[in-house]
Amino acid sequence: MIGKTILNYEIKSIIGEGGMGSVYLAEHTQMHRVVAIKVLLPQFMSRPEIRERFKNEASTLANLQHPNIVGLYDYLEDETGMYLIMEYVEGEPLDDYIKNVTGPMPEERVVPIIKEILSAVGYAHKLNIVHRDIKPANIIVAKNGSVKILDFGIARIIGDGNKNLTKTGTQMGTIFYMSPEQVEGKSADFRSDIYSLGVTFYQMLTGLNPYEGLTTEYEVYTKIVQETLPPPQEVYPGVPEYFSSILTKALAKTPNDRFQTCEEFLKAVETKEKIKPIKERMSTRIAEPIQTGTSPSQKNRIATFIGIGLALLAVVLVVLFVLPKDEDDDRFEDSVDECKGQKGTVKGCPDRDFDGIMDKTDACPDEFGEKENNGCAAGN
């Protein structure tokens, strides 16, 4: 391949080799722009599923425009092969950077890098793209200290059946960085990337991949699915405590217990949030059911209490605004009571002699009389 020209780019040297292809350094023959060209290995040209995966990487990268994701300049497919012409980033993979340059990363170095990684992966997620192979080897640390994510060859576009190149039951990704659901061959969504980011973050903080000492895939699978990782301080004591709680959440076995988005993960890193362990979060939800969720029986009781309260309120409103008022309690409504405030028997007015004539119109209020005699007895 050395010396061959692809779309006016002359191949100068090989940069690296992978399972599906090789990557070469090339330079434009007129503009002298340096690029990286990824070439599908010849033995895979006759395999439709591999060719489709290579095309998938091209179409995925074409939709990604982010400062921390390697850019795609062009794509070529002809009788000689399949080629991705990509941005060239001078630097080294994050795993080599950890091993050869930093060792366990101090807080002031790890935070800017993980923030850039989370920003880039979160951007891809917003475009419904799941990377599915997040690992330090797919993250380049440039000479200026910034990072670039590459290798979207097995990325999946959520909701696009034509782009989903794998089925449930198929493992995709690098075993050391797989989520439990990936190991079990289940469908992987954004939260699977978050798990892989958690393992990557763990390696950045401790200097070691937590599974690299295991000798068989079975051991790795078992630990990923069943066993929580040891606190990072047991591997490297210098890891800040708040990072430990963030890792615990990112590496939860159940996707619902992880950060649900890269933005949540990023916020926890930026604010140095100390996250409660899962058991404590669960007990909080049980202790405060109305705030965080209620069972059907609890909902029924709450509905009953609300119903009783509304009924009592209705009674009060009826008494205050609907039922007739009788302030002096003489059984004459205030609207027809001619002597409000006085308890009486005649139109609500007092009648001391009980002659059926209210005292205020009775000429003889203290003696029983007739109406035609103005309430006075005969002879008066």
Active site residues: 133
Distance, in Å, from the CA atom of 333 to the CA atom of 86, rounded to the nearest integer, reads 92
- The two structure tokens encoding residue 312: 């009592």
Distance, in Å, from the CA atom of 252 to the CA atom of 192, rounded to the nearest integer, reads 10
Q: 27 in helix, strand or coil?
A: strand
Distance, in Å, from the CA atom of 263 to the CA atom of 340, rounded to the nearest integer, reads 71
CB neighbours of residue 380 within 10 Å: 11
Residue 251 corresponds to which amino acid? L
Kindly list the strands in the beta sheet with 81-87, ordered across the sheet, starting from the edge strand earlier in the chain. 5-6, 9-17, 21-28, 34-40, 81-87, 72-78
Q: Up-side HSE of residue 374: CA atoms within 13 Å toward CB?
A: 6
Is residue 137 within 8 A of residue 108, CB to CB? The reply is no
Nearest Cα to 186, choosing from 115, 251, 253?
253
Is residue 358 within 8 A of residue 374, CB to CB? The reply is no
Task: Please name the residues in contact with 43: beta carbons below 8 A apart, sequence gap of 6 or more.
Answer: none
Phi then psi for 74, rounded to 5 degrees? -165, 170
Distance, in Å, from the CA atom of 331 to the CA atom of 340, rounded to the nearest integer, reads 11
Tell me the angle at which helices 262-271 and 107-126 cross, rounded to the nearest 10 degrees: 160
Nearest Cα to 249, choosing from 223, 227, 268?
268
Distance, in Å, from the CA atom of 364 to the CA atom of 299, rounded to the nearest integer, reads 70
